[in-house]
């Protein structure tokens, strides 16, 4: 899709024959593949509803909070913040936000929640139309998966009701990822890729010069009102990223920073995700340096705080959460460097403490999980990331972990770097990065 051309084709099974279409495809200067891009935010096709996943931390017993006594040095290698392996895990729920009424409702949980409790994950949320969606659930051991179909019925102008329609359950004795864990597709003529592109030759004014202090990182969206939304940093600071809006038809007007206003004082690294219909709404996601949060905006106003992560803020105030540090990893001999954030427990000692927070790696914003234990491959929740050279390091497992193998910490720095096989896996996007060891570099 572009501002000047809207087409729907299957590039793999139905290659375009028209010279005009081929020309348009060949001159695309910026292409973003948004298929499967959103991790925790799922728009209905026509921007009527927003589905999002939240972690229910309100009922977590206070006894599960880790309390550090900074006057003592217990040298306990497994003294890690909640949740630890064996702790009661928080529940995950899907919520639906009605753009028109401004009300939020929770999707009914499957009956397996009663048996599995918090051992149940939410893998995917897929919309078929504005009133029909499916949710894929699975357990931690990855030997059971559930697909449930729901319908949204309108009761009156301000109220909706979610109706369970049907379900599919698959179980196996093998602890492997089942095909039913994969994202279900609603399609008529086969799988389709969705591309968003901006054609420079259709809008030559985009070449107008921005302020020299702003180093543009990525164009996020171009609307129908000559507005460009993009991420950028000041003075090319790779550890900072803000979201800007700019009218490219008037090079006398400076870009407006949407993530820098008074309501986002704690936002130093941000991104935005636009609704799938006409882009009338966007989610402003602030990843740090404090606890991340997500806010829903229209083009003119703030609508709702989608995810505040309030319990995490309380944990930080009580020194119950780890601290964030930055690190860089050389990926090849051509000076390709991956920058990232790493989360350590408050009293982390690299000589005696095992970092139990597993890591997933994103290449070109496509998420892959890493085998962080000897038994399970754990799907993780996005917590904080830094992007550089199209490589993102994402940390924090909201469901806890059994801890990394302590032998990882016994590796020398030379061997540690040699174990990074990202360049090999860049060519195989569908493989899990089991060989990576991000997040365990001891200082």
| pLDDT for residue 96 | 92
Classify residue 18: in a domain, yes or no.
Answer: no
**Total structural domains within the chain:** 3
Q: Verify that 222 and 164 share a domain, yes or no.
A: no
Is 294 in contact with 285 (CB distance < 8 Å)?
Answer: yes
Strand partners, 390: none
85 and 133 inside one domain: yes
Tokens encoding 54: 């939240």
Model confidence at 194, pLDDT cuts 50, 70, 90, reads very low
Residue 193 lies in a domain: no
Same domain for 214 and 154: no
Query: What residues contact residue 133 under an 8 Å CB cut-off, 6+ apart?
Result: 42, 44, 51, 125, 126, 127, 149, 150, 152
Portion of the chain with pLDDT greater than 70, in percent: 36
pLDDT at 363 over 70: no
Cα 113 to chain centroid distance, Å, stands at: 24
Higher pLDDT, 72 or 367: 72
- Phi-psi domain of 439 (left: phi exceeds 0; alpha: psi -120 through 50; beta: other): left
Those residues with Cβ within 8 angstroms of residue 250's Cβ, 6 or more apart along the chain or in another chain: 208
Q: Residue 400 has what pLDDT?
A: 31
Which of 124, 177, 178 shows the shortest CA–CA distance to 377? 177
Euclidean distance between CA atoms 54 and 40, whole angstroms: 8
Last residue of a domain, one of 312, 347, 373: 312
- On whether residue 87 sits in a domain, the answer given is yes
Maximum Cα–Cα distance across the chain: 73
Could you give the 3-state DSSP secondary structure of residue 372?
coil
> Is the domain of 49 the same as that of 175?
yes
Residue 157 lies in a domain: yes
pLDDT for res 52: 84
Query: How far is Cα 97 from Cα 42, in angstroms, rounded to an integer?
Result: 10
Residue 190 is assigned to a structural domain of this protein: no
Does one domain contain both 282 and 336?
Answer: no
Tell me, yes or no, whether 298 and 329 share the same domain. Answer: no
Cβ atoms < 10 Å from Cβ of 291:
20
Residue 315: how many CB atoms within 10 A of its CB?
A: 20
DSSP 183-223: PP---SSS----EEEE-GGG-GGGGS---TTEEEEEEEEE-
Strands 214-222 and 41-43: unpaired
Task: Please report which confidence band the pLDDT of residue 150 belongs to, taking 50, 70 and 90 as the band edges.
Answer: very high
Percent of the chain with pLDDT over 90: 4
* Distance (Å) of CA 71 to CA 67, 138, 155, 318: 12, 42, 58, 15
For residue 117, being part of any structural domain is answered with: yes
Whether residue 30 is contained in a domain is answered as: no
Residue 231: is its pLDDT beyond 70? yes
At 257-301, the pLDDT tens digits run 888 876 666 677 888 888 877 778 898 888 766 667 788 898 888
Q: Residues 161, 244: one domain?
A: no
Task: Indicate if 329 and 258 belong to the same structural domain.
Answer: no
Q: What is the DSSP letter of 231?
A: E
Q: Which helix (H) or strand (E) holds 422?
A: helix 422-425
Domain range for 229 is: 207-312
Query: What 3-state DSSP class applies to 86?
Result: coil
Same domain, 76 and 158: yes
Q: DSSP code of 188?
A: S
Which two three-digit tokens encode residue 436?
A: 């990576």
Average pLDDT of the residues of the chain? 59
167 plus 64 within the same structural domain:
yes
Is residue 356 assigned to a domain? yes
Residue 99 corresponds to which tokens in the numbers above?
């753009």
List, as own/partner pairs, every contact residues 60-65 make where C-beta atoms lie below 8 angstroms and the sequence separation is at least 24, other chains included: 60/88, 60/90, 60/311, 61/88, 64/88, 65/315, 65/318, 65/320
Mean pLDDT of 66-88: 44
End position of a domain, from candidates 263, 287, 312: 312
Instruction: Say yes or no: 215 and 328 in one domain.
Output: no
> Do 308 and 343 fall within a single domain?
no
């Amino acid at each position: 899709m572009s501002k000047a051309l809207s087409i729907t084709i299957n590039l793999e099974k139905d290659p375009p024959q028209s010279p005009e279409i081929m020309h348009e495809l060949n001159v695309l200067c910026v292409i973003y593949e948004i298929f499967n891009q959103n991790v925790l935010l799922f728009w209905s096709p026509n921007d009527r509803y927003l589905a999002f996943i939240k972690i229910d931390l309100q009922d977590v017993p206070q006894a599960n909070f880790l309390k550090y006594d900074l006057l003592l040095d217990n040298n306990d290698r497994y003294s890690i913040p909640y949740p630890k392996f064996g702790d009661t895990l928080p529940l995950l729920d899907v919520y639906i936000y009605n753009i028109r009424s401004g009300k939020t409702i929770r999707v009914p949980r499957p009956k397996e929640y009663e048996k599995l409790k918090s051992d149940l994950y939410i893998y995917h949320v897929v919309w078929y139309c504005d009133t029909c969606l499916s949710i894929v659930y699975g357990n931690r051991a990855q030997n059971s998966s559930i697909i449930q179909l729901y319908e949204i019925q309108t009761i009156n102008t301000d109220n909706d009701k979610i109706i369970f329609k049907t379900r599919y359950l698959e179980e196996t004795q093998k602890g492997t990822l089942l095909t039913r864990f994969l994202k279900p597709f609603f399609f008529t003529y086969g799988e389709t890729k969705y591309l968003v592109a901006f054609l420079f030759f259709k809008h030559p004014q985009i070449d107008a010069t921005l302020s020299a202090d702003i180093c543009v990182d990525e164009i996020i969206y171009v609307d129908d009102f000559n507005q460009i939304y993009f991420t950028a940093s000041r003075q090319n600071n790779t550890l900072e990223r803000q979201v800007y809006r700019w009218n490219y038809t008037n090079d006398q007007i400076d870009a407006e920073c949407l993530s820098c206003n008074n309501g986002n004082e704690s936002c130093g690294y941000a991104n935005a995700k636009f609704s799938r219909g006409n882009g009338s709404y966007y989610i402003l996601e602030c990843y740090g340096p404090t606890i991340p949060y997500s806010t829903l905006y229209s083009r003119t106003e703030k609508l709702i705080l989608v995810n505040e992560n309030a319990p995490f803020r309380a944990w930080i105030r009580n020194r119950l959460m780890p601290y964030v540090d930055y690190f860089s990893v050389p990926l090849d001999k051509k000076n390709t460097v991956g920058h990232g954030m790493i989360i350590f427990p408050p009293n982390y000692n690299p000589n005696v403490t095992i970092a139990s927070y597993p890591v997933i790696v994103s290449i070109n914003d496509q998420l892959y999980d890493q085998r962080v234990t000897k038994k399970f491959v754990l799907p993780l929740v996005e917590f904080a990331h830094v992007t550089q050279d199209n490589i993102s390091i994402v940390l924090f497992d909201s469901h806890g972990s059994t801890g990394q193998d302590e032998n990882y910490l016994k590796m020398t720095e030379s061997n540690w770097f040699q174990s990074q096989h990202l360049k090999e896996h860049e060519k195989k996007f569908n493989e899990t990065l089991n060989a990576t060891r991000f997040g365990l570099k001891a200082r």
